[in-house]
């Protein structure tokens, strides 16, 4: 009975972080509306590149529908995955700017609950926003999703979310240590993953030495799996070894490493006095 009570108490603590962030986004809802419109416009722009590929190449042999789906899937998926990372970092950055992060660290909450609460909000919010963007883009571009294997796609997305939760916690080290520059550093990692993961092109077009780095990016396997499931209707059994297994390994490694790194950064920042506003 005591274990149940403790679990419920810890769950409520995690929900408190989710609710706090929800209230902040409600407060600044106009900014979220701006970013939603921006994301829709960007995804549509990428989709129109695919739609115009025949005219750009001068060849009538291009499968416009498949190319458009390839590009749109990459755009939407990258928007979702990078959002998990950037939103997690932004939440830490906001606390640094407001001068409240030291109080959060001193609260009687385990760091695991703290990190999972923050990242879970990013995952839920990212899913909702990505779903809205997908509906609009599918209607405007008249995407053909008749071959999509929804079950496979959802499983890939779930495992990818776990990987990026860990990656988000790991990169959140930077805004803890440097309030003014830490968040900008995260964009470097974001850009490198964008380049090596094949968001808008096949991995095979990269130079050989960059293809090596792509094998260590969970986004690479996520994109391959989602495109196979949505464009070709590939099932879970076929995706297990090339996609699902690497994502499971990434999640198992990145989540504990991310929590460990975040905790060590917290200890270092508190020991060296870097949690003050101008740190």
**pLDDT (tens digit, 9 = 90+) per residue, 189-240?**
888 888 999 999 999 999 999 999 999 999 999 999 999 999 999 999 999 9
- Residue 38 host element (H or E): helix 29-51
Measured CA to CA, the distance from residue 69 to residue 67 in angstroms comes to: 5
The whole model's pTM is what? Answer: 0.88
Contact call for residues 174 and 199 (beta carbons, < 8 A): no
CA 263 – CA 94 distance, rounded (Å): 18
What is the tens place of the pLDDT at every residue in 78-105? Answer: 889 888 888 888 888 888 777 788 788 8
- For the ranges 33-42, 49-58, 128-137, 164-173, the lowest mean pLDDT is seen at 49-58
Residue 160 has pLDDT above 50, yes or no: yes
Instruction: Scan for tokens 């291009």, then name that residue.
Output: 62
């Amino acid at each position: 009975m005591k274990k149940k009570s403790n679990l419920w108490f810890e769950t409520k603590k995690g929900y408190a972080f989710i609710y706090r962030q929800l209230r902040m986004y409600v407060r600044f809802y106009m900014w979220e509306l701006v970013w939603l419109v921006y994301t829709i416009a960007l995804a549509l722009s990428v989709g129109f590149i695919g739609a115009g590929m025949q005219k750009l190449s001068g060849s009538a042999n291009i499968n416009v529908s498949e190319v458009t789906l390839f590009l749109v899937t990459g755009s939407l998926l990258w928007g979702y995955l990078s959002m998990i990372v950037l939103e997690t970092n932004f939440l830490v950055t906001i606390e640094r700017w407001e001068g409240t992060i030291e109080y959060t660290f001193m609260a009687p909450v385990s760091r695991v609950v703290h990190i999972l609460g923050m990242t879970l909000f990013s995952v839920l919010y990212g899913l909702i926003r990505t779903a809205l963007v997908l509906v609009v883009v599918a209607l405007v571009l008249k995407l053909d999703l008749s071959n999509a294997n929804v079950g496979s796609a959802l499983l890939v997305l779930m495992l990818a979310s776990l990987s990026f939760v860990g990656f988000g916690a790991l990169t959140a080290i930077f805004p803890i240590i440097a309030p003014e520059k830490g968040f900008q550093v995260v964009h470097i990692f974001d850009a490198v993953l964008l380049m090596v993961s094949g968001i808008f092109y096949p991995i095979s077009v990269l130079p050989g030495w960059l293809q090596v780095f792509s094998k260590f990016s969970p986004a690479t396997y996520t994109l391959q799996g989602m495109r196979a499931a949505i464009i070709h209707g590939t099932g879970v059994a076929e995706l297990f070894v090339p996609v699902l297994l690497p994502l499971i390994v990434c999640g198992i490694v990145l989540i504990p490493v991310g929590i460990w790194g975040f905790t060590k950064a917290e200890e270092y920042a508190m020991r060296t006095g870097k949690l003050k506003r101008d740190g």
